[in-house]
């Protein structure tokens, strides 16, 4: 049995190493070549830089208008994530605790929304965006993200709420706690592992989204990182030195965020794994 456990452990470690290489190798080449001039990149992309240069980053910073596009991306990502957590949390809680025909019908409609890709409703969505005058407004993208991401997030929250003992909520209600108080003070701390998972996945989606933002934001001063990146690649198709530096700049803020927030995320997952 011990030998079998050792073999299982070795297989898992091997698969983890392979997965890590699949993720880290492209990242390594991107960051490495961002410090090299174009001539060295063309000569050998795997070679260590003969002379480190920051001119690629300066060029990418100016051509991206980095501070502007970073501000737009941060605003969209942060407020979209907050809204997704709030609305999906309360909706998922309500659906999990109410079993009447209206709630069941609403739940089925939400589940149907999970099965429809955005590309299938893009034309109709464009008409709605025009009628609501959401075009070229950051709040238009934020509200659109709330609508698109709500079904999946609500589904995950609803499943997590069902694992919370109903007796805890009943005791809180007897003590005079209202519906909102029960959710935010009692249920939310117990499901925060799921909530942190949703927030982490969604902020990655919002940060890296291109289609939705390109669809709504047309003005140059409203561009996000991904739109600016695409524009830069179109302009500098053969300027790989600037292009890889721009990619490094685009992933750096999110990388720093997860480094800083990883303790809170892990604590939330651990707390969410323990039932009250």
Q: What span, in angstroms and rounded, lies between the C-alpha atoms of 182 and 194?
A: 18
Tell me, what's the pLDDT at 267? 57
Q: How many CB atoms lie within 10 A of CB 48?
A: 10
51 φψ region: left (φ > 0), alpha (ψ -120 to 50), beta (else): beta
pTM greater than the 0.75 cutoff: yes
What does the DSSP 8-state code read for residue 154?
Answer: H
Look at residue 263 in the predicted model and tell me its pLDDT: 66
The reported pLDDT for the residue numbered 110 is 85
What are the angstrom distances between the C-alpha of 6 and each of 3, 10, 11, 13, 117? 5, 6, 9, 10, 43
Torsion-angle region of 133 (φ positive above 0: left; ψ -120 to 50: alpha; else: beta)? left
Task: Return the structure tokens found at 247.
Answer: 């990619």
Listed as ranges, residues in the chain with pLDDT below 70 are 1, 236-238, 262-276
Q: Which of 93, 209, 204, 89 is nearest to 141 (CA)?
A: 209
Name, in order, each residue with C-beta under 8 angstroms of 35's C-beta and a sequence gap of 6 or more.
49, 52, 53, 54, 56
Is 95 in contact with 154 (CB distance < 8 Å)?
Answer: yes
SS3 47: coil
pLDDT at residue 266, as a whole number: 60
Angstrom distance (rounded) from CA 44 to CA 50: 11
| Stretch (H or E) spanning 267 | helix 240-272
Question: Which of 192, 48, 255, 215 shows the shortest CA–CA distance to 129?
Answer: 215
Are the C-beta atoms of 191 and 164 separated by less than 8 Å?
yes
């Amino acid at each position: 049995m011990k030998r079998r456990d050792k073999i299982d452990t070795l297989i898992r470690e091997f698969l983890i190493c392979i997965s890590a290489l699949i993720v880290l190798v492209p990242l390594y080449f991107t960051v490495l070549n961002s410090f090299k001039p174009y001539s060295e990149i063309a000569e050998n992309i795997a070679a260590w830089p003969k002379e480190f240069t920051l001119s690629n980053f300066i060029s990418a910073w100016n051509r991206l208008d980095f501070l502007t596009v970073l501000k737009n991306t941060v605003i969209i990502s942060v407020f979209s994530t907050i809204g997704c957590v709030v609305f999906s949390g309360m909706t998922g809680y309500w659906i999990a605790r109410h079993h009447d025909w209206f709630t069941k019908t609403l739940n089925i409609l939400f589940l149907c929304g999970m099965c429809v890709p955005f590309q299938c409703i893009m034309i109709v969505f464009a008409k709605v965006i025009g009628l609501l005058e959401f075009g070229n407004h950051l709040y238009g993208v934020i509200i659109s993200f709330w609508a698109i991401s709500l079904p999946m997030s609500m589904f995950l929250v609803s499943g997590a709420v069902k694992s919370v003992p109903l007796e805890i909520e009943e005791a809180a209600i007897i003590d005079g706690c209202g519906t909102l108080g029960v959710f935010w003070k009692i249920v939310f701390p117990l499901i925060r592992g799921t909530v942190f998972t949703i927030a982490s996945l969604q902020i990655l989606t919002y940060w890296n989204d291109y289609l939705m933002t390109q669809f709504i934001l047309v003005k140059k001063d409203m561009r996000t990182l991904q739109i600016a990146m695409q524009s830069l690649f179109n302009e500098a198709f053969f300027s790989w030195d600037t292009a890889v530096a721009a990619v490094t700049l685009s992933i750096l803020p999110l990388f720093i965020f997860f480094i800083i927030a990883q303790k809170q995320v892990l604590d939330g997952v651990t707390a969410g794994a323990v039932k009250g």
